[in-house]
């Protein structure tokens, strides 16, 4: 009896240890992946207008730069489709490895890319292509990293462990901003714009090493292994004749069209608010006709706010394990809508701590939605199409909400008034609130 108890305790401890290893590996991979993706957003606001669009007016150069930023979002649904099909057919781990490798390569090549002054129009064309590859990679990465964690987690801790994959986004912002701060503070302004901005991109080669670690060390998820065993059993019962099945993407669209559309709507507010808070705010805050806040000051404000966002996500995710995903998600959307009208008045003060408060408030309320999202989206779809269904909802929401958010915000600000950017954020938040309200609660459901 004693030996049995000891064996059970040892098994539980091993499972917890393995789960922590999976969660931390997911966090490391997504952090560096998002670091690469967000580096581009920071560079698009601060460096790329002059480096790749020097013949345009400052406003048009910024709009064009944010336009190439949008290329990554246009590619994300394509990445979600490709990797969703692959991940549902051959496994979450393999899909994640390829996505990490692609992102590391594309970001490193951006760091080596000649500017407009060297190769002319070819420079922004190549920049847009590499941004598209980044989008393909991030479109596939989220589903793989998220499912690697949530499909392996205990049912009553799916939200908490899913938050590790979600924490990669604010961690990526922290790393990206810290990289730019360290580089720009260690050299002259001229050196930074000449070559210093390339250093953070070149360091992305680390991601290729992480992809190899995942390939060699991580196991496939229990839910996917169970699905494969069920398929093998059916194949054996059919005398070895392979099943003729539709693509997982088509299956997901036929089986869950409403859930995919509502999942995209739920993600809308997160994307609009997030890219305004970490991207557009850099251009607005540093504008000489506006607050005229120094670049490094704004980067530090975004960095501190992103640090604060991480515990808010874990708290919201853990709360959702006990009380449900929908309620905390809707509160996050409502509070984000309200806060959008306080954001820019606080930034306009130019006071560092009020700017930190402005961005922190937005990212904290956003974290109430983003924290539980991995578990919520996992539970919306069945195992055989989960990668495809969750990725489609996520990436469609990303392209509609995030792709043009900095561009739309810039146009609203320049052509009308900054308050219209707040209206834009609030409308997106209310649409997300409505989408989540129309979805069913999932926190007590079994994965099947």
Q: Where are the domains of the chain?
A: 8-438
For residues 104 and 102, what is the distance between their CA atoms, to the nearest angstrom?
Answer: 6
3-state SS assignment for residue 219 = coil
Does residue 241 register a pLDDT over 60? no
Q: Give the HSE-up count for residue 153: Cα atoms under 13 Å, Cβ half-sphere.
A: 28
Domain range 8-438, CATH architecture: Up-down Bundle (1.20)
**Spatial separation of the C-alpha atoms in residues 133 and 241, rounded to whole Å:** 38
d(CA 334, CA 278): 20
88-119 b/e with 16+ CB inside 10 Å = b? Answer: beebbbbbbbbbbbbbbbbbbbbbebebbeee
pLDDT digits (tens, 9 = 90+) for 111-158: 899 988 889 889 889 988 998 998 888 888 778 788 888 888 888 899
Query: Token digits for 359?
Result: 């961005």
pLDDT score, position 238: 60
Please report the pLDDT score of residue 12 as a whole number. 47
Q: What is the pTM of this model?
A: 0.83
What pLDDT score does 69 carry? 77
Joined tokens for residue 107: 């970001």
């Amino acid at each position: 009896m004693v030996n049995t108890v000891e064996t059970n305790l040892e098994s539980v401890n091993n499972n917890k240890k393995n789960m922590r290893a999976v969660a931390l590996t997911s966090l490391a991979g997504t952090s560096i992946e998002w670091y690469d993706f967000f580096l581009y957003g920071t560079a698009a606001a601060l460096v790329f207008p002059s480096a790749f669009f020097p013949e345009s007016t400052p406003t048009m150069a910024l709009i064009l730069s944010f336009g190439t930023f949008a290329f990554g979002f246009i590619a994300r649904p394509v990445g979600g489709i490709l990797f969703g099909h692959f991940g549902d057919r051959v496994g979450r781990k393999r899909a994640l490895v390829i996505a990490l490798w692609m992102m590391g390569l594309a970001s490193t090549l951006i760091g080596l890319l000649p500017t407009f002054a060297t190769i002319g129009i070819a420079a922004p064309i190549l920049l847009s292509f590499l941004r598209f590859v980044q989008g393909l990679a991030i479109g596939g990465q989220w589903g793989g990293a998220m499912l690697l964690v949530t499909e392996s987690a205990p049912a009553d801790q799916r939200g908490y462990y899913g938050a590790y994959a979600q924490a990669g986004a604010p961690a990526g912002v922290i790393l990206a901003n810290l990289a730019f701060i360290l580089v720009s503070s260690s050299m002259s302004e001229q050196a930074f714009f000449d070559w210093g901005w390339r250093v953070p991109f070149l360091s992305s080669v680390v991601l290729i090493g992480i992809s190899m670690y995942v390939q060699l060390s991580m196991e496939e998820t229990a839910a996917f292994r169970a699905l494969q065993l069920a398929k093998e059993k059916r194949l054996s019962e059919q005398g070895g004749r392979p099943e003729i099945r539709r693509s997982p993407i088509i299956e997901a669209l036929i089986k869950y069209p409403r859930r995919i559309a509502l999942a995209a709507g739920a993600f809308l507010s997160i994307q609009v608010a997030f890219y305004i808070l970490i991207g557009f705010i850099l251009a607005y805050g540093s504008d000489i006709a506006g607050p005229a806040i120094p670049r490094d000051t704004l980067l530090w404000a975004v960095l501190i706010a992103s640090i604060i966002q991480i515990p808010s996500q874990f708290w919201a995710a853990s709360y959702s394990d006990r009380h449900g995903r929908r309620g905390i998600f809707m509160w996050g959307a409502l509070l984000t809508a309200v806060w959008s009208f306080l954001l820019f008045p606080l930034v306009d003060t130019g006071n560092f701590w009020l700017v930190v408060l402005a961005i922190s408030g937005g990212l904290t309320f956003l974290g109430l939605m983003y924290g539980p999202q991995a578990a919520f989206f996992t539970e919306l779809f069945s195992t055989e199409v989960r990668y495809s269904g969750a990725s489609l909802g996520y990436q469609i929401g990303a392209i509609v909400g995030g792709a043009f958010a900095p561009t739309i915000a810039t146009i609203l600000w320049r052509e009308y008034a900054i308050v219209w950017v707040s209206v834009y954020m609030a409308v997106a938040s209310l649409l997300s609130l409505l989408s989540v309200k129309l979805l069913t609660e999932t926190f007590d459901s079994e994965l099947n």
